[in-house]
Chains A and B, each alone.
Chain A
Amino acid sequence: MKTMTYIEAISRGMWEEMERDPSVFLMGEDIGEYGGAFKATKGFVQHFGQERVIDTPISEAAILGAAVGAAMVGMRPIAEMQFADFVTCGFNQLVTNAAKIHYRWNIPIPVVVRLPSGGYIHGGPYHSVSPESWFFHVPGLKIVSPSTPYDAKGLMKAAIRDNNPVLYLEFKYLYRRAKGEVPDEEYVVEIGKAKVRRDGNDIVVFSYGSTVQLALEAADAVFRESGVETMVVDLRSLAPLDTDMILRAVESTGKVLIVHEDNLTGGVGAEVAAIISERAFRSLDAPIKRVAALDTPVPFAPPLEEYCLPNKQKIVSALRELSRY
């Protein structure tokens, strides 16, 4: 057991898989000598060589397209977007090629796309995006969203071994803030399985990524003030969603709050709410509530950004409201 940061766990996951499988390689901007904008690949080029740690031109479409091509003939590339925001420049490669090739051609596309996501870092409108909803709608893409170092490593290894394109959301806010124990021995975290982070019978919170910790803190605060026991479920995988666990959690609590950093409209939470209303309507004792970012770009100035994004207080308020039903 070692204590490591979230970003160290991401690095470790990639490193171990590159040691294990010679078909795994990295492509991205400034990932070689420089070690990546966030240093996730520090030391990689020295160990694995330039052939497997490839610094590319600033060309997201070419990075993603080349990753698809290499995967199509049996390699297992990991493509790094320097910030998730820039994946828009390569959108076509993900939705037109990565997502559709297996369906059309029966050829697996084992690509991992690393997406440094989200705000809380004063990055402004172009370095703070939550990209998941752009891809959540697209059949053929998997999306994972770890919230702890343990899951960051385990999901990275699972994503690399998966025979499908996996968008790996990594939350910049968590990179060095989230620390946790990571086993020395080999493990993977299965894609498609949610995890209960806190037990409770009164309300359930579904969240993922950067807002899981906020939800846990809010749940503790609400318990201290009123004794309301909130279950917190970390979705961990957005596509596929762990529908079974979502429905079980709704049945055992009856009140639902969905929390995500991504903005509200058309977000993952909307689909979770639709699944619940279709399949667990009779278990509900209150309207489904959502806490999400405002439907705005993520603004730059700290007070604006703070106002825009979810925080502990907004979650506490929503939990209080639900507890009154």
Chain B
Amino acid sequence: MPTLSTAIEKNKTVGVPHAVLSNPERLELYYYMRLARECDAAIVRLYKQGKMVGGAYTGHGNEATAVGSAYALEGHDYLFPLHRDLGAHLVKGQSLRNIFLQHLARGNSLTRGRDGTGHYADPVLRIYGNASHLGAMIPVAVGVALAAKMRKENSVVMNYIGDGGCNVGEFHEGLNMAAVMNLPLILIIENNQFAYSTPISRQFAAQRLSDRALGYGIPGITIDGTSVVRVYETCCAAVDRARKGEGPMLIETITMRMDGHSASDDASYVPKEMIEEWTMKDPIDRFEKILLSDRVLNELNKTEMERKIAEAIDVAVNEALESPYPEPEEAAHGVFAPPVREGGVGPRHDQGAL
């Protein structure tokens, strides 16, 4: 199993421009990581209290990757996150209200209760959630990148996959097509050491997943996925080159899944030493120490931030809990779109959900 010291930074095929973060921006990155972790914790609480059906999946340990990557995007860029990327949803502008309505399967959620977790789309924010078939959204993200290129939108598409999901065929087909067509796609492999219970040693034989980029003729890099600044800088470089028409890039972020696959998995198969080792590299603690020492963060603004986060989550959770489930007969509607729009010409992406 590659460790941080051996695996990362070995494949620097792309120079990273100096992406200077201001102090307010650094504070914002910290805020989004904290917010994501607290949201995840609230979701698990709701699940364990029996108030939420389905499954609860956290991004605990992955916050730096989710937040740092999405922070490199503009409003007109597209985000295709995975189930451990709540931080990316939040950075892209998703409201806590929508997140909790969605997790609680309410009638006024973005999927009107038809799907759960992050499996929603918000065309206005250009967020397109995942399907449970990991990898299935990679070709779809490629198609969005193709459309963006055809329409000269100057948008990029950021898509995520895991160390497990990157072994499906659609990973290969999607990335190869994106490379051949020179599309503005950034694919981030969140290598968090486990695919459900299976360690990466049983998922692939390569030393670095970013080495796969070579086979597609695109740049690839493996980085420390627990450093939010490192993730941000790398993604800025990838976004920059994609926007300039230089094509896709593969980024592997080395992280650790600190919780079980879902809240119903006690992850007893994960060696204790691994958890101990990775606790030392906790993305939020690491960044917090830097911000404290740089006096960007202090006890005062930290406490204030924590209070605001807790309050905002409470408000969103309560509103979601008070919102009704959809009407049962709603289940029968909406399999098909109304057949033809006036004039027969397709809906535009900027019109939002119809």
Q: CA of A139 to CA of B346 in the docked complex: distance in angstroms?
A: 22
Known: A103-B335, A139-B335, A164-B336. Contact between A61 and B176, CB under 8 A?
no
Q: Which residues of B contact A75 (CB under 8 A)?
A: 147, 150, 346
Q: Which residues of A contact B115 (CB under 8 A)?
A: 104
Instruction: Say yes or no: is A117 at the interface (Cβ < 8 Å to chain B).
Output: no
Q: CA of A34 to CA of B120 in the docked complex: distance in angstroms?
A: 40
Q: Using C-beta atoms within 8 Å of the partner chain, give the interface range for chain B.
A: 35 or more
Instruction: Say yes or no: is B348 at the interface (Cβ < 8 Å to chain A).
Output: yes
Known: A62-B139, A92-B133, A96-B133. Contact between A74 and B147, CB under 8 A?
yes
- A157-193 interface code vs B (CB 8 A; 1 in, 0 out): 0000111100000000000000000000000000100
Q: Which of B2-10, B35-43, B93-101, B337-345 contacts A (4 or more CB under 8 A)?
A: B337-345
Contact of B173 (CB < 8 Å), options: A23, A62, A142, A161: A62
* In contact, B334 and A102 (Cβ under 8 angstroms): yes
* In contact, B177 and A62 (Cβ under 8 angstroms): yes
Q: Which of A106-114, A286-294, A317-325 contacts B (4 or more CB under 8 A)?
A: A106-114
* In contact, B345 and A66 (Cβ under 8 angstroms): no
Q: CA of A64 to CA of B123 in the docked complex: distance in angstroms?
A: 21
Instruction: Say yes or no: is B131 at the interface (Cβ < 8 Å to chain A).
Output: yes
Instruction: Say yes or no: is A247 at the interface (Cβ < 8 Å to chain B).
Output: no
Residues of A2-29 contacting chain B, CB below 8 A: 20-21, 23, 25
* In contact, A65 and B340 (Cβ under 8 angstroms): no
Q: Which residues of A contact B338 (CB under 8 A)?
A: 163
* In contact, A161 and B344 (Cβ under 8 angstroms): yes
Q: Which residues of A contact B169 (CB under 8 A)?
A: 61
Instruction: Say yes or no: is A88 at the interface (Cβ < 8 Å to chain B).
Output: no
Q: Which residues of A contact B137 (CB under 8 A)?
A: 65, 97
Q: Which of A39-47, A51-59, A204-212 contacts B (4 or more CB under 8 A)?
A: A51-59
Instruction: Say yes or no: is B200 at the interface (Cβ < 8 Å to chain A).
Output: no
Q: CA of A56 to CA of B143 in the docked complex: distance in angstroms?
A: 12
Instruction: Say yes or no: is A69 at the interface (Cβ < 8 Å to chain B).
Output: yes
Known: A62-B174, A105-B111, A163-B341. Contact between A72 and B335, CB under 8 A?
no
Seen from chain B, the residues whose Cβ lies within 8 Å of a Cβ on chain A are 78, 110-112, 114-115, 119-121, 123, 128, 131, 133, 136-148, 150, 169-170, 173-174, 176-177, 180-181, 334-341, 344-349, 353-354
Given contacts A66-B146, A72-B121, 6 further A-B contacts (CB under 8 A): A66-B140, A70-B146, A72-B128, A103-B334, A105-B353, A140-B335
Seen from chain A, the residues whose Cβ lies within 8 Å of a Cβ on chain B are 20-21, 23, 25, 51, 54, 56-57, 59, 61-77, 92-93, 96-97, 100-110, 139-140, 142, 161-164, 191
A-B contact pairs, 8 of them (CB 8 A): A73-B78, A73-B144, A75-B346, A96-B133, A97-B131, A104-B115, A105-B111, A139-B335
